[in-house]
Amino acid sequence: MIVTIDGVAASGKSSVSSGVARALGIPYVSSGLLYRAATLLGLEAGVDLHDAPALLALLDNHAPRLEPLAEGNRVWSGTRELTDALHSSRVDAGVSVVAVLPELRAWVDAQLRALPEPFVAEGRDMGTNVFPHAGAKFYLTASPRIRAERRARERPEDIPAIEAALVRRDAKDQVQSAPAPDAQVIDTGPLTLEGVIGVILEGLGE
Ligand code: C5P
Question: With bands split at pLDDT 50, 70 and 90, how would you rate the model's confidence at 48?
Answer: very high
Q: How far apart are CA 7 and CA 187, in angstroms?
A: 10
pLDDT, tens only, 175-195: 777 899 999 999 999 999 999
Quote the number of domains for the chain: 1
- pLDDT of amino acid 19: 95
Measured in Å, residue 7 CA sits from the centre of ligand 1 at 9
**Residue 10 pLDDT > 90, yes or no?**
no
Edge-to-edge strand ranges of the sheet holding 119-123: 28-30, 119-123, 2-7, 136-141, 184-187
Domain of 191, in residue numbers: 2-203
pLDDT, tens only, 20-46: 999 999 999 999 999 999 999 999 999
pLDDT, tens only, 132-146: 999 999 999 999 999
65 neighbors 76 (Cβ within 8 angstroms): yes
Report the pocket of ligand 1 as residue ranges, CB < 6 Å: 9, 13, 31-32, 35-36, 95-96, 99, 123-126, 169, 173, 176
Q: What is the DSSP string of 50-102?
A: T-HHHHHHHHHHH--EEE--SS--EEEETTEE-GGGGGSHHHHHHHHHHHT-H
Atom of ligand 1 nearest to the CA of 33: 4
pLDDT, tens only, 99-139: 999 999 999 999 999 999 999 999 999 999 999 999 999 99
CATH number of the domain bearing residue 193: 3.40.50.300
